[in-house]
Amino acid sequence: MGRQLKYDQARLAVLNVIAEDRLRPGDKLAPERQLISRMNCSMITLRKALESLEREGMLERSVGRGTFLKRCVTNDSRSGKILFLNVNRPGDLSYPPPRAREYMQFYFNERGMEFQYLQVSSFSNEIVKEAEDVLGILLYGWLSDDFMKSIASLKIPMIIVGNSRHFSGIPQVELDIKACAELVTEDLIRGGARRIVLFNSAPDYYPSYDLESGFRKAMKRHGLNENAESVIFMTDGNRGKELDRLIPAYMEYDAMIFELGIYYSFLAASRINHWNLKQKIGISPLSIDFIDQWNCDLVRASPDTIFGRFRQSIFEIASNMLLEYILSSREMKTIRLKPEIDHGLEEE
Amino acid sequence: MGRQLKYDQARLAVLNVIAEDRLRPGDKLAPERQLISRMNCSMITLRKALESLEREGMLERSVGRGTFLKRCVTNDSRSGKILFLNVNRPGDLSYPPPRAREYMQFYFNERGMEFQYLQVSSFSNEIVKEAEDVLGILLYGWLSDDFMKSIASLKIPMIIVGNSRHFSGIPQVELDIKACAELVTEDLIRGGARRIVLFNSAPDYYPSYDLESGFRKAMKRHGLNENAESVIFMTDGNRGKELDRLIPAYMEYDAMIFELGIYYSFLAASRINHWNLKQKIGISPLSIDFIDQWNCDLVRASPDTIFGRFRQSIFEIASNMLLEYILSSREMKTIRLKPEIDHGLEEE
């Protein structure tokens, strides 16, 4: 590793310690010995980093008394940036939740890095240009082979945020959707359900396959009947009308599992149709990242419903992981978050 | 007006014309005479602006042939910035829709300005610092008197995006919520409804008051009975439970109007309670800015429902207005967008 890279990493690692310890101007930094072990670097490298931050006016070192924070990271003291690429097929826009974007912006800014969000539909010169002074990339959305091949050629630390196909050598933070569907199905079976239907999202939506396979795995394990009719893939057309036609065919079933987006359409269709269904309802998955006011209200008002829920945020974990990747240059491993069962959200 | 300011405005106005005409590198700009009338400036000012853009390498002027676009606005050629302040009470976060934020970022970047989004809970030195090279400010969220007093002292062109109290001298782009509630109520009355209840959001949520007053206005006009029981203000607690208790008291009513957020909780509660309601349902307001995938699915699956709908985006209009404000230094007037009635969203 080049010397300059090592010092740049150490500088960022000191900023990270300051952020982790929530230091305010005037506060004293942890002793050097502790910093060395937390940053996993040599005393020489640490001292170079502290000197450089002292020159920038962020730290004040006083012989015998220690090192003090003089001022927080400001716009001017930021160096290097993180690129968040939201890759979407044309005409099919999806976005990270606003709260997650706030989090990432704050997380990296606080640690002395710019955070740049870019919406793209294909690999382009714009990305190459923006990637010039980039320390790391977070990838989100619809990732094609071609796109990934081009982006990987940039040789920048990168992490895929969210479920997508796996690309060799690129670490990912994703939800274990299969385990989630399995858990919800198991819970319904334990509650006495034998005939269960899964209303799944569109077949080309990446997590649909995992949802189906988790569901079928749990059904098979208990020797329960599952066939082509057990899993419905909804199109992106008028889902209300589709459900009007489909639901009556499943009146004799014991339980229904919905993908969260489909559950919304189901609720609206239910009110019109007065189906008066007696089935148990399961929903998979509910991710902490998408719990906004509306989702929260909706879910809270569903007391007899079983949720497969993820309590950790893929955006938080991916941010932490990308920083560690940048600071340590160590290869990262894909993380698959585990779901749990939740019988209605508890009060906040 | 200072000369420099006039030239800076003219430079931005040329970039605006380039963006409006969707010019690509190699394309020819409109004739100078047309530019002068569109930009409302003198020939001297226009020429100074064109010269400055030629020096920056963006334009190429060729005597007798005209002015050509050489390259688009890039990161490096941006000057000045727009600040979007999302002001929230602590612990009560709300966000502009991601698509709106994209739009604003793109709109201002394309016209040679940075776009900076900042989440704040009070007026602080951070804002003063960020406001140094700011051309204009968009204000969104929970605006208190104290906050507005401080921000107004910065003497920067600013526009309030969305419904809030009015502050003298600060133009606003807002939804006419009162007209929306009135329209939905009128439509239900025309359909034969006599006893109508409004399930409103929390009393301290700014648009609640307008929703109530539009509803009562329509009821009064038709000599229909409306009293304390006709408008329910929901708290932010467990709305499902609240509705369990409230809905049975309105079984004999002809129609129910819901604020969109409350409608979500109502749908979830309906499924559990099997109320089998026969009432007509009205929803007010549905704003184009908040029509995301889920809202769209939900609404599309509600064919017998009456929506008070806004087809224009407050974020788009506010961006256009702020730019005009910056370019012309003319005082802007508050714009209140008008609603229309929609019996279910048409297919896209």
Domain of A32, CATH number, reads: 1.10.10.10
Position B240 pLDDT exceeds 90: no
Residue B231 sits in a domain whose CATH number is: 3.40.50.2300
Position A189 pLDDT exceeds 50: yes
Mean pLDDT of B259-271: 87
Burial B97-122 (b: 16+ CB within 10 A, else e): bbbbbbbbbebbbbbbbbbbbebebe
Q: What distance in Å separates the CA atoms of residue B162 and residue B159, rounded to the nearest whole number? A: 10
Mean pLDDT of A35-40: 90
Residue B304 and residue A272: Cβ atoms within 8 Å?
A: yes
Question: In the numeric block, which tokens belong to residue A205?
Answer: 């939506």
**Cβ contacts of A274 on chain B, cutoff 8 Å:** 274, 276
In a domain, B345, yes or no: no
Interface with chain A: mutation pick from B267, B302, B306, highest number of A CBs within 10 Å: B267
| Contact pairs from chain A to chain B, CB under 8 Å | 116
Residues B256, B286: one domain?
yes
Residues A118, A188: one domain?
no
Q: Which of A75, A104, A136 is the last residue of a domain?
A: A75
Whether the Cβ atoms of residue B120 and residue B151 lie closer than 8 Å to each other: no
Residue B267 and residue A271: Cβ atoms within 8 Å?
A: yes
In a domain, B209, yes or no: yes
Helical pair B260-273 and A260-273, crossing angle rounded to 10 deg: 70
Position A346 pLDDT exceeds 60: no
Name which of B95, B129, B304 is nearest A98 (Cβ-Cβ). B95
Question: In the numeric block, which tokens belong to residue A121?
Answer: 């539909």
Domains of chain B: total: 3
Mean of per-residue pLDDT scores for chain B: 89
In a domain, B348, yes or no: no
Query: B303 to chain A: nearest residue by CA?
Result: A272
What residues form DSSP beta bridges with B137? B83, B158
Position B346 pLDDT exceeds 60: no
The phi-psi region of residue A235 (left if phi > 0; otherwise alpha if psi is between -120 and 50; otherwise beta) is beta
Residues B156, B268: one domain?
no
Residues B172, B319: one domain?
yes
Amino acid at A281: I
Range of the domain at A288: 177-310
Residues B250, B267: one domain?
yes
Q: Which of A159-168, B33-42, B44-53, B232-241 is predicted least confidently?
A: B232-241
In a domain, A298, yes or no: yes
In a domain, B96, yes or no: yes
The percentage of residues in chain A with a pLDDT greater than 70, rounded to a whole number, is: 97
> What ipTM goes with this model?
0.71
Residues A54, A89: one domain?
no
pLDDT in tens, A219-260: 999 999 999 999 999 987 788 888 989 999 999 999 999 998
Q: What distance in Å separates the CA atoms of residue A28 and residue A61, rounded to the nearest whole number? A: 10
Is A275 in a helix, a strand, or coil? coil
Residues B215, B226: one domain?
yes
Residues A195, A284: one domain?
yes
**Cβ contacts of A304 on chain B, cutoff 8 Å:** 272
User: From the centroid of its chain, how far is CA A241?
Assistant: 32
pLDDT in tens, A202-224: 888 888 999 999 999 999 999 99
Amino acid at A155: K
DSSP letter for each residue of B165-225: ---TT--EEEE-HHHHHHHHHHHHHHTT--SEEEEE--TTSTHHHHHHHHHHHHHHHTT--
Tell me the nearest-neighbour CA distance from B348 into chain A, angstroms.
Answer: 9
Residues A161, A143: one domain?
yes
In a domain, B84, yes or no: yes
* Contact residues of B toward A, CB < 8 A: 74-75, 93-99, 101-102, 119, 129-130, 238-241, 243, 261, 264-265, 267-272, 274, 276-277, 281, 293-294, 297-304, 347
Name which of B240, B274, B293 is nearest A301 (Cβ-Cβ). B240
Residue of A114, A278, A274, A284 whose CA lies nearest to A201: A284
Residues A130, A204: one domain?
no
Residue A301 and residue B268: Cβ atoms within 8 Å?
A: yes
Name which of B119, B267, B301 is nearest A239 (Cβ-Cβ). B301
pLDDT at A276: 78
